[in-house]
Every structure is written in structure tokens, then in C-alpha cells.
């Protein structure tokens, strides 16, 4: 695992984070720049640069990450009202940190899914 990105540093406890839930495969933290009342990041402990690096060889990790979404939504009390799940991929997809992570947003009506320009 590379120790270069901020998520690797959080996972190694080199820098603090507001942890929501965690297990052996992933850690879920509150986003420091939330875009909704609830904005949690689910991050695999194993460094994967992006969703494109999660291939068919990793079905257990993919399943664990998707199951984490439901656990986080329930923990944050948005499982019944609804929430949005976002995985940004690459520069054009808006990925800012080169470490796979899933955004879980909720706590209010989130409006349009894609902003038209």
C-alpha cells in the first residue's frame, strides 16, 4: 500500500478522521467538506487507485464495499428517507483522491442527479 494519499494516511492512523464505522476491509469516515447533511466516505483499506482497479478478482471486496453502504446509511439514519451513492472515476469523473472511495450522501432532498451545463 502506498502511503502517499490522504486515505492511506487515515487508514494507517497517521492523520485523524471522524470514523463512522469500520471493519477489516474498509473504513467509513465523515467527509471534512460535506455536500449534504450526511456525507460519508467508504474507503477500502487495501489501496486501489480507482474503481477501474477493482476487477473480477476482487468480488469479496466489491461485495463488502457495497454492503458497507447499507450499514452506513442505517447508522446515519438515512436508510428509510433515501440517499445517493457516488463513485467518481478519473479526472473527467471528478475523482480528487487517487484511492477508491464511495460517497454516501443524504439527510435532505439532493436535487438533480447531473448538473447540465
Cβ atoms of 50 and 89 within 8 Å: the answer is yes
Which is the catalytic residue, given 39, 47, 101, 103? 101
Please report the pLDDT score of residue 117 as a whole number: 59
Average pLDDT by consecutive 10-residue portion of the chain (117 residues)? 79 96 97 96 95 85 96 98 95 93 96 70
Please report the pLDDT score of residue 1 as a whole number: 42
What pTM, to 2 d.p., does this model score?
0.92
Cα separations (Å) of 95 from 41, 57, 62, 88, 101?
13, 23, 18, 5, 9
Domains of the chain: which residue ranges?
6-106
3-class secondary-structure state, position 43? strand
Please report the pLDDT score of residue 4 as a whole number: 82
* Fold observed for domain 6-106: HIT family, subunit A (3.30.428)
Active site residue 103: no
Amino acid at each position: 500500500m502506498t502511503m502517499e494519499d490522504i486515505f492511506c494516511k487515515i487508514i494507517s492512523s497517521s492523520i485523524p478522521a471522524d470514523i463512522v464505522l469500520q471493519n477489516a476491509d474498509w473504513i467509513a469516515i465523515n467527509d471534512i467538506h460535506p455536500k449534504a447533511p450526511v456525507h460519508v466516505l467508504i474507503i477500502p483499506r487495501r489501496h486501489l487507485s480507482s474503481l477501474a482497479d477493482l476487477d473480477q478478482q476482487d468480488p469479496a471486496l466489491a461485495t463488502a464495499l457495497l454492503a458497507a453502504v447499507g450499514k452506513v446509511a442505517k447508522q446515519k439514519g438515512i436508510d428509510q428517507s433515501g440517499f445517493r451513492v457516488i463513485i467518481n472515476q478519473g479526472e473527467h469523473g471528478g475523482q480528487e483522491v487517487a484511492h477508491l472511495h464511495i460517497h454516501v450522501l443524504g439527510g435532505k432532498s439532493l436535487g438533480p442527479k447531473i448538473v447540465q451545463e
